[in-house]
Amino acid sequence: MKLGKLYGIGIGTGDPEYLTIKAYNILKNIDCIFTVISKNASDSVSKSVVEYIKPQGKVELLVFSMAKDQKEREAKVLENAQKILTELESGKDVAFATLGDSMTYSTFGYILKIILEKHPQIEFEVIPGINSFTTLAAKTKTILVENREGFHVIPSFKAEDVEQIEFPHNSTTILLKTYRSRKALLERLKKEKEKFPHIEIIYGENLGLEHEKIAYGLEEIEKLPESYLSLIMVKK
């Protein structure tokens, strides 16, 4: 059995023009593309980026579970990995197109582990993509980090955990998926701002999309409804 080649492709935050030339060329010509859609969504940001390319191959949407139950989430990942394996085992080259970067908090990592367990020698290639925090820095013309500054990324958190979040001096902290606990987080940031008035707080949502929003400071952020594709940058 001759296996196809697997590509993990980061496609950026949603603006098709953020695709690398390499990502564009692979997606344009590959046999099969898998990308993601939310369970209750009528459309997919990643699908819209893929369709912009007008690919020659088949495009298939995968739904991943967001359930709290870990076994349920893992079962869905395994089911989707099997769909990809079926194409690879038929000899087709396959791309998994994921928002942001393919190796940074990406579903591709889970898929890749399962595929490598079954076919350790499979040929695969990873194409990096522009992630949300570098996009926010570019959109706001804010230096992310420089010189000896530290850089911290907090992927997700519960409301009861926000008091334990640290914002080290001489560093930039990125808070992802802020929609889940934003009210509690903003209260925590108010306390931080009272102690350290010089800190910068910048919020971004749906970056690179038509309904993109950017807010500077806590008062502006509080006026916006919560959004899934959102993050906060804290410079201290």
List pLDDT tens digits, range 162-204: 889 999 999 999 999 888 788 999 999 999 999 999 999 999 9
The identity of residue 65, as a single letter, is S
- Best CA proximity match to 94, nearest among 124, 50, 127, 138: 124
Higher pLDDT residue, 9 or 41? 9
Q: Is the pLDDT of residue 1 over 90?
A: no
Report the first-to-last Cα separation within the chain, whole angstroms: 55
What secondary structure letter does DSSP report for 225? P
Q: What average pLDDT score do residues 70-99 get?
A: 93
Q: How many helices (H) and strands (E) does the chain have?
A: 7, 10
CA 141, 147, 152 angle in degrees (round to 5)?
Answer: 70
What secondary structure letter does DSSP report for 29? H
Lowest mean pLDDT segment, chosen from 97-111, 130-144, 177-191? 177-191
This prediction's pTM: 0.91
The SS3 call for residue 18 is: helix
pLDDT-derived band of residue 81, with 50, 70 and 90 as boundaries? very high
The string of DSSP codes covering 45-58 is HHHHHHHHH--SSE
Q: Is the pLDDT of residue 16 over 90?
A: yes
Q: Report the distance separating Cα 49 and Cα 66, nearest Å.
A: 22
- Best CA proximity match to 97, nearest among 67, 70, 61: 61
Instruction: Round the average pLDDT of the chain to a whole number and report it.
Output: 93
